[in-house]
Structure 1
C-alpha cells in the first residue's frame, strides 16, 4: 500500500523483545534487518515519487523486501520458541 509503514516493529509488534535481542546478539539478523529497512525506505521514496525508477525495478525491490521479511519472521519465531 502506498505510504504504509512496513518496518518490523509495525509488522510484528508481538516480537518487539526478540527483535531487539537478535539485533544485538545475531550479526546475520542485524544485517538482514538493516537491509530490510533500507529497502523499505527506498520503496517508500519510490511510492511517494521522490525517487523515480522503472516499474520492474520497483517490483524487484518489493520482492526482495518480502523475502527478507519472511526470513526475519522465521528467525523471530525460532527465537521466541
Structure 2
C-alpha cells in the first residue's frame, strides 16, 4: 500500500504539501500541485480510510439494533 510519504518522496515535496494538495489544492502552487497529482496517479495512491478514521475518531458507520434478526420483517428493512 502506497503511503502519503511515498507520494511526497516521489514528488520531492513534504508530506504536508501532499496533504494540502489533497485537502485544499488552492493553497499550493500550480507546478507543485501538478507534480503531486502526477505522483498520486503514478503510484496509484489511495487514502487509508482506517488511518483517517483513527485520527479523526469518526467512522461514518451506522449501527442498527434489532430485537430478532430471524424475524422475517427485520432482515428486509
Same fold (TM over 0.5): no
Q: TM-score with structure 2 length normalisation?
A: 0.31
- The structure carrying a bigger helix percent of its residues is 1
Higher relative contact order (CA 8 A, sep 6+): 1
TM-score (structure 1 length as normaliser): 0.30
